[in-house]
Structures are given as structure tokens and as C-alpha cells.
Amino acid sequence: MRLNQSLVSSDPFEKHLIKRKRKMSWKKKAAIGALMLTSMVDMFSMLVVFLLQTFSTSPEILINKGVTLPDSVTATEVREAPVLAVAKDGNLYLDQKIVGEVTKVLKAPKKLMNQLHDIKIDWAKSHAGQAFPGEINLQADKEVPSTTVSQLMGILTTGEFSTIKLAVIGLR
């Protein structure tokens, strides 16, 4: 049986060098393990980003406060467009900004028409060379009379927003 010379040596300095060498080799092994862990975390991060992009393909519309949408069996996928909302309290909102009270807007629609025209101009600037699609999403509370909704739709078609999508809650 043969003993290792370095372990048998009696010199304390040699023992110190041996311990130091062992510690250094242990640190190198730990560094290699950390690198493997880092690449695994990177892989999981990429997987999370992929899953988020995959499951968020359809746009979502914010429902204005004070608006309870009606139920419908024939709901379709939401397309991104400006949102005109009629709240239960009688206020009218265009893209989350208040336009005024519905009754006043129906009597004097000039302010709403100007805001719709501004949206149309902004769209034309950002989509140069394309025809304006005239799409708008209309959110109306369940309790808003249908005559009010039809009058707003008349104003929208006058402002060249001919594709009006009524926002509803789809039943499954």
C-alpha cells in the first residue's frame, strides 16, 4: 500500500498549499455549475416570453367605468379601433376621455365630430397611402335606450365611421 507523499509530509507550509489547491479546484467546479444554472434560467425566460406572446394575440378593449355591456351569443373577436362609450350615468367617452353628456352631444354633435375628425387625421398620418377603414367600437350600457344608440350611430356614419362594432359580452 502506497501513501500519498503530500499528505504524509510534515511541513505545515506544504499542507497549506495542498488545502489551498483543493479550495481553488472546488471554486472552479462551483463556477461551472453556476454557468449551467444561468443557461437554464435563460431558457425558461425565453419560454415565458414565447408563451406570453402566443396567448396575447387578440387585442383587448378597456371597458369604461360605469358601462355594463349587454350579453350576446354571436360575439366576434375584437379588432383594435377607437372606442366610443355611453355610460349608465349619461356621459359619453371617446377613447377613455369624456366628450360630454349624451343628451347635449346629440343636440350639438360638433365637439364629437371634431374629435372623430382628429382621430381620422392621426390615422392618416400614421398610415400614409392607405384608405381610412372607418372602424369604431361602440360600448353602450345595457340600460341606455336603443334610440340613443341609433342616434350616435347616425353621427358616427356622418363622420365617415361606417364600420361600427357594438361591444358585447360573449356567452359561451
Rounded to an integer, the average pLDDT of 40-68 is 75
Which residues 6+ apart lie within 8 Å of 94 measured at CB?
82, 83, 84, 85, 112, 115, 116, 119
Same domain, 146 and 102: yes
Residue 163 lies in a domain: yes
Residue 1 is predicted with a pLDDT of 47
The domain spanning residue 76 has which CATH number? Answer: 3.30.420
Same domain, 80 and 45: no
Residue 129 lies in a domain: yes
Same domain, 82 and 13: no
Same domain, 166 and 91: yes
Rounded to an integer, the average pLDDT of 39-63 is 77
Helices 146-158 and 110-126: crossing angle in degrees, nearest 10, is 50
Residue 116 lies in a domain: yes
Residue 134 is predicted with a pLDDT of 85
Residues 35-47: tens digit of each pLDDT = 567 778 888 899 9
Residue 105 lies in a domain: yes
Same domain, 30 and 79: no
Residue 62 lies in a domain: no
What one-character DSSP code corresponds to residue 96? T
Residue 57 banded pLDDT, cuts 50, 70, 90 = low
Same domain, 96 and 155: yes
Name the domain count of the chain.
2
Same domain, 121 and 149: yes
Residues 98-141: tens digit of each pLDDT = 888 988 988 988 998 898 889 888 888 888 888 888 888 888 88
DSSP β-ladder status, 169-170 and 135-140: unpaired
Higher-pLDDT residue of 62 and 115 is 115
CA gap 167, 135 in Å, rounded:
13
Rounded to an integer, the average pLDDT of 25-29 is 63
pTM of the model: 0.58
Same domain, 42 and 112: no
Rounded to an integer, the average pLDDT of 136-160 is 85
Q: Which domain holds residue 29?
A: 5-55
